[in-house]
Structure 1
Amino acid sequence: MREGNFIDYVKLHVSSGKGGSGSSHLHREKYVAKGGPDGGDGGRGGHVILRGNKNLWTLVEFSFRRHVRAEHGGNGGKQRSSGADGQDEIVDVPLGTVIRDTDTQEIIDEVTEDGQEIIIAEGGMGGRGNWHFRSSTNQTPRYSQPGIDGKELDITLELKVLADVGLVGFPNAGKSTLLSVITSAKPKIADYEFTTLKPNLGIVKYRDFKSFVVADIPGIIEGAAEGKGLGYRFLRHIERNSTLLFLVPADAEDVAKEYEILLDELRRYNPEMLDKDRLVVVSKTDMLDEELKTELKAELDENLPVPYHFISSVAQQGLTELKDKLWEMLNKDPEHKN
């Protein structure tokens, strides 16, 4: 998926360096007519390494870079001098990057920590020089080993946004508006579907200088688990959120049913998503009078199996209580989690 500088899916061809060849040199100097073998070993080829960088949030660097190559190892020399190791090619990626083998689609590894280094393609070993092959019956071997070829493979990088809370809802449910009023983020907001085409992250400043991160995930449509709309491109960003906030507008025909549809999309995409803490937030409640609010609460008490909360982003209602509830959910004792 791509919008502006946000890219969360790229394919790369990576090549590690070839090992240097060993030397088959024979020792020669004044007064030494027949010196023995003194060929050095070849250097190791460079690795291709992916390194986590907490300051990155997109794979935009790879827009015009689809090949990553490490340096070859140097050849061995005389006097048992080893060739230089090839320089490793270290590539920084955002935290939350999943690395797949493009051909098999198997997950190779995941980058989740700052500074974490993963060797994707090991450099080839350097060949041994002829010094290693001397023996009592072969005192002047004139052969050495060639370096081992590096590895080549095609990989796919998928970025899954790292955030504490993920906002889940249908298009135009008010997720971007909520993010803009509880954080300093400035997502694109308009009164039409699919305003948000990329995940937006915002930091919620809580009491006593504490904070947590909220991600506005692009709107889910029914059938997203089967790839409708942008399908799994949206859903995978929810996988790393520890708490899910389901946002349903108060003017929805059936709040509980809309929640169930959203939950079913997550279930069909990845059943493990149901293990996360969930909170239903009914937005745009400034449109309801007290009588309608009472009726809606009675309906939700009967039909909604998870906690719910009323807010109005425009009227700034219920937002402080929402922050308190989210902080409590994020910091509860793991033994008491649902």
Structure 2
Amino acid sequence: MLRFLDAGESHGKALMAIIDGVPSNAEIDIDFINNELIRRQNGYGRGKRMQIEKDRVEIWSGIRGTKTTGNPITMVIFNKDYENWAKVLNGNTGENEKITIPRPGHGDMVGYFKYKTGDIRDVIERTSARETAIRTAVGALCKCILVSIGVDIRSKVMNIGGIEDDNVDLFDNEAYLRIENSSVRCYNEHVENMIKYEIDKCKQQGDTVGGSIFISVRGVPLGIGSYIQWDRKLDAILSYALMSVQGIKAIEFGKGTDLAKRGTTFNDEILCNKGEIIRPTNNCGGIEAGVSNGQNIEITVYMKPIPTIKKSIRSVDLKNNDNVVNRYERSDVCGVVPASIVLENVCAFEILKEILNTYPADDIITLKKYIEK
């Protein structure tokens, strides 16, 4: 079983993960993983933190040369900003410097009451989206393996602030190159300019903005996942993982929210052409009854506006129950663009895990033989 735990705090010494269950002899490209981290740091609407960090992963175990050994893999990303926060994180702060005013929409209040450390700083350090850097690294390692067995995961921004981009085939390489070169990861240049204007406007107003992301996965074999038990359904597993990413509030598979469709127009017909099963449409998003059906897995993910805002909204000082306004913590104006990269890599881990659950293999050679059959 493929699994991992990650640890570390936003301004701590490092983020780290231990991944167990990766097949041996898989070729891992560290430059590819680091490039995924660069992709995550890019994007219009990012804050000053990204000017400090230049994320690169170190591998401390489980890979010899460029190949996995089957041993647990340890990944580490050091935080450069730790130098500026060492005093705070080592507890060298007075009672008056403890944070007791929660940001509405963040984990501040619930964490304060749940863990009772008396300082929201302890909540901020772990709930921060900085944690997604190490999750991106874990997923990028899984992407290396998925590519070798013919699975490709791509994404684009669909909407920011109500401004909708064009629907395009993400596996049209020319179209995807255009998306990759866009600072907001959309296809239409006019839409890109409109989105950038919206982000700039929010920044000037001390506000933030959310949006939606489209993910398409090509090459997942038919039969991944299961309808036998509720917790083995592939769409349920992907939903669980995607919803765990900071700021994600809703998920749609295929055209699942198209309420205008009826059964005759929504359900994807099954045809046979020269002995090959084909599907003229993909309204179900490549998953039926919790099992992959061989079509592209298509998901739209919705992200709320970041809750850290400069503009004042009402909150409470939890120390003395006074009504106050929110406090500001350094943040992005829009997190949709980097979230698209994070979500790609979150999908990569879950899909590889489910492929290995269907085709158990301790080495990559055996896995490839299973897939090719």
TM range (shorter): under 0.3
TM-score normalised to the size of structure 2? 0.23
**Structure richer in helix, relative to its length:** 2
- Structure with the greater alpha carbon radius of gyration: 1
